[in-house]
Structure 1
Amino acid sequence: MKRRDFFAATAGAALVATLPNEALAGTVSGDSAPTGAFEVVAAFSGPGPSGIAVTPSGRIFVGFPRHADNHREATLAELRGGALIAYPSAALSLPSDLPPAQRLISIHGMTTDRRGRLWAIDDGKLAGQPIAPGAAKVVGIDPASDRVIASIVLTPPAMRPDSHMNDLRVDLTHGAQGTAYVADSSFGHTGALVVVDIASGRQRRVLAGHPSTQPEAGFRVVLEGRPLSYDASHPTFPVGGADSITLGADSTRLYYSPLTSRRLYSIATDVLADFGANDAQLAASVVDHGEKVMTDGLATDAADRIYMTAGEHDAIMRRLPDGRMEVVVRDPRIVWPDGIFATDHHVYCTLGQWNRLPGFNDGHDLREPPYLLIRAPIGEPPALS
């Protein structure tokens, strides 16, 4: 070090040391201070949560998938009085000897439709086992009666052996009883969207191979200060195609993104729900909305603001209709935010800690229960023009 650089460095150090604490605020990374606030709705000491849905009356439902941990607890439960109640019944939600098509295997993504009915995607996967015929399905339940109103088994070619049916949205503006759109992020490299006509059970796999549904090669993330990436021989992060998914407020477009990507795409539901539309027509309807953040979940509020889990930033963010992004809440306790759901007043989110699974950490389970379900206020939405 040159003499003048040494004196400049030591003079600066002395100056900082004599400044009052208030003047040091700018020298500390803003990441050390949380932004916004959330409340813990529930803390789960058992299996990790994924899907979350809240009905207009305030009933809260949580999904506990079994594809990473073949647990013996309920895979779908209602949070009632601080306790988890197997839903819609213990016979359907707990492990049993019933055929896979007649029970819930591994509930993953969840949503409600405009009539307040609960919908879930059963990814059908038990850890370490192939997906059994009849296991993967779209399930609809009416909370008014607590009865199953739909159970549509996903079959080939819409379903693949390496499918990972991750999340879904239900559009009541298309089809006699609505249309379900499912994001298949795949346990391999074959992501796609799956379209299901609820009335007939007709289904098809679309945009398979299209860039909007595929994982980005060489994708890297930084979670909890660790650079992570997918490597088949030594994975520290999963590879994932079409994963997070949400309908626009008026259901005219479906927004989605691969897990290993930072881009947001959408497609017109008029085209997506049309079983007569060919691959070229589907591809022509896809819009690339540019970069966002790496997301594992998307949700939309009544003002057409899209909420995003932002695991790299320990945050929940949202995209405004004009494309601007803002932070809703940021806190170091937000470890791999997963399922997300927006009501009129709050955004709910499950914190799955999936990056801490043994498969990404040389066989060491680094998860630290309890797993949290949180919610953050979103303020009054602006009136739509």
Structure 2
Amino acid sequence: MKRRSLLGAAVPVGVAALAMAGAGQAARAAPAATGRMNRDYGLNSAGPFEIVARFDGPGPSGIAVTPGRRIFVGFPRHAINHAGVTLAELRADGLHAYPDTQWSMPSDRPPQQRLMSVHGMTTDTRGRLWCIDDGKLAGQSLAPGAAKVIGIDPEKNTIFANIVLRPGIVLPDSHMNDLRVDLTHGAAGTVYVTDSSFGLSPALVVVDIATGRQRRVLATHPAAQAERGFMAVVEGRPLVFDPPRHKPGFVWGGIDGITLSPDSRTLYFCPLTSRRLYSIPTAVLSDFSTTEAQLAQAVRDEGEKGVADGLATDGQGRIYTTNFEHDAIFRRNVDGSFDTMVRDPRVLSPDGIFVDGNDVYCTLGQWNRLGGLNGGHDLRVPPYYLIRFPADPPDAVDALHVK
């Protein structure tokens, strides 16, 4: 909406005063301020959305929906080592451990034989569910075999892929955050995983599904790094990422958000502590013979997209970006323009995001309120939400002009 339509024709105060003086009139003092004042209309809520589920226990992160419209949610344990499920199917009667309680609930099974801390989730073009288990339990060191890529067949409810990320690929401060699966490269496909890092060692991890071959790439490239001196305004507070001088006061990290183009030819990604969006051709990225120099040359800066955690792409190639500064979800259109899809004070720390046809799902975990970011005080206020909104809302109908 143009400013003129809201406020009428605006005339700068200085120009008005000069015009009055030219007419021989005495200048007058401005009237005292009253209750009626200009306001920022950008503070209004925007965009329709519905609350699909409320969670009173652990905060949600990953979200994926299969072609059969089964909804799966991840509850990581890297921030709070909770005793609930880490991967669940959301049904009409609540959450159910998935694929079963042995895998999803805490136990004494070896780390490679249970889900430790499910974070990012997605589906492939065959409708199969994929998860990244970051392997991290709050307050504990990352155990060997804990970080892994998991593939689940939702028709059989069984795990068909369990690819443990080996030492060197996983670092002591690794935070395997999100993933996308490309079935157009490799004999069985290729997985791309973002390691946003709990420290300052982010990278993109490439995994060949058929062979289990793995490598870390772009570890020193600016497209993977958290920007030093970066400032974010979170719930009205200006916060600066300036380690090691100051402990970060907001959710921060290197390469984090990740999404594929509809044809899987391009991978889009972004650091969490950045406003830039980057891309790279998957033909280059999936080729294990490609050198770091060649990969770096293939990275393209796609411009600004705001502060984003999760990324998701719809069938038209439009990219949905969560934004924890504005309690919002934006959409980057194919021409580079942006739309506001959702903006609301309840949209705190929008995280995992998934597009299912014309429906877009997003988890709200209030991660910026964790105790580790607020002097040891956990400021989160349950419930946490899973929301859904339309990618293309129907046009509003003017009842006075319906033919």
TM-score (norm 2): 0.89
Identity %: 63
Contact 2:74 2:121 in 1 (8 A): yes
Listed as ranges, the matches of 1:244-255 within 5 Å are: 244-255=257-268
Contact 1:42 1:82 in 2 (8 A): no
CA distance in 2, matches of 1:7, 1:109: 62
Are the structure 2 counterparts of residues 6 and 137 from structure 1 closer, same or farther at C-alpha, using a change threshold of 3 Å? farther
Match of 2:112 in 1: 101
> Tell me, what secondary structure is at the counterpart of 1:313?
coil
- TM-superposed deviation, 1:31: 3.0
Say yes or no: does 1:177 pair with 2:198: no
**Root mean square deviation of aligned Cα:** 1.7
Contact 1:188 1:239 in 2 (8 A): no
Match of 1:74 in 2: 85
CA distance in 1, matches of 2:131, 2:258: 13
Match of 2:325 in 1: 312
Select the residue among 355, 378, 383 that pairs with 1:342.
355
Are the structure 2 counterparts of residues 259 and 6 from structure 1 closer, same or farther at C-alpha, using a change threshold of 3 Å? farther
TM-score (norm 1): 0.93
Name whichever of 153-162 and 128-137 sits farther off. 153-162
CA distance in 2, matches of 1:27, 1:238: 33
- TM-superposed deviation, 1:159: 1.4
Contact 1:113 1:170 in 2 (8 A): yes
The runs of 5 or more residues in structure 1 that have no matched partner are 18-23
Select the residue among 194, 197, 210 that pairs with 2:205.
194
Match of 1:88 in 2: 99
Task: Report the number of matched residues.
Answer: 368
Q: Which has the larger radius of gyration?
A: 2
Contact 1:235 1:359 in 2 (8 A): no
The runs of 5 or more residues in structure 2 that have no matched partner are 1-16, 18-25, 395-403
Select the residue among 280, 286, 290 that pairs with 1:267.
280
Say yes or no: does 1:161 pair with 2:172: yes
CA distance in 2, matches of 1:211, 1:162: 19
Match of 1:116 in 2: 127
Letter in 1 for 2:282: T
Select the residue among 148, 151, 156 that pairs with 1:137.
148
Match of 2:386 in 1: 373
- TM-superposed deviation, 1:6: 11
> Tell me, what secondary structure is at the counterpart of 1:328?
strand
- TM-superposed deviation, 1:161: 1.0
- TM-superposed deviation, 1:380: 7.6
Match of 2:7 in 1: none
Residues 323-368 of structure 1 show CA distances to partners (whole Å, capped at 9, x for unaligned) of 1111111111100100000111111000011110001111111000
> Tell me, what secondary structure is at the counterpart of 1:156?
coil
Letter in 2 for 1:28: R
Match of 1:146 in 2: 157
CA distance in 1, matches of 2:271, 2:27: 50
CA distance in 1, matches of 2:388, 2:231: 28
Contact 2:251 2:367 in 1 (8 A): no
Match of 2:29 in 1: 8
Match of 1:20 in 2: none
Contact 1:229 1:238 in 2 (8 A): no
Contact 1:315 1:330 in 2 (8 A): yes
- TM-superposed deviation, 1:142: 0.7
Select the residue among 229, 235, 249 that pairs with 1:224.
235
- TM-superposed deviation, 1:322: 1.2
CA distance in 1, matches of 2:248, 2:320: 28
Contact 1:35 1:330 in 2 (8 A): yes
CA distance in 1, matches of 2:371, 2:393: 41
Letter in 1 for 2:125: R
In the TM superposition, structure 1's runs of 4+ consecutive aligned residues that sit over 6 Å from their partners are none
- TM-superposed deviation, 1:157: 1.8
Contact 1:189 1:239 in 2 (8 A): no
- TM-superposed deviation, 1:82: 3.9
Say yes or no: does 1:360 pair with 2:381: no
Contact 1:108 1:167 in 2 (8 A): yes
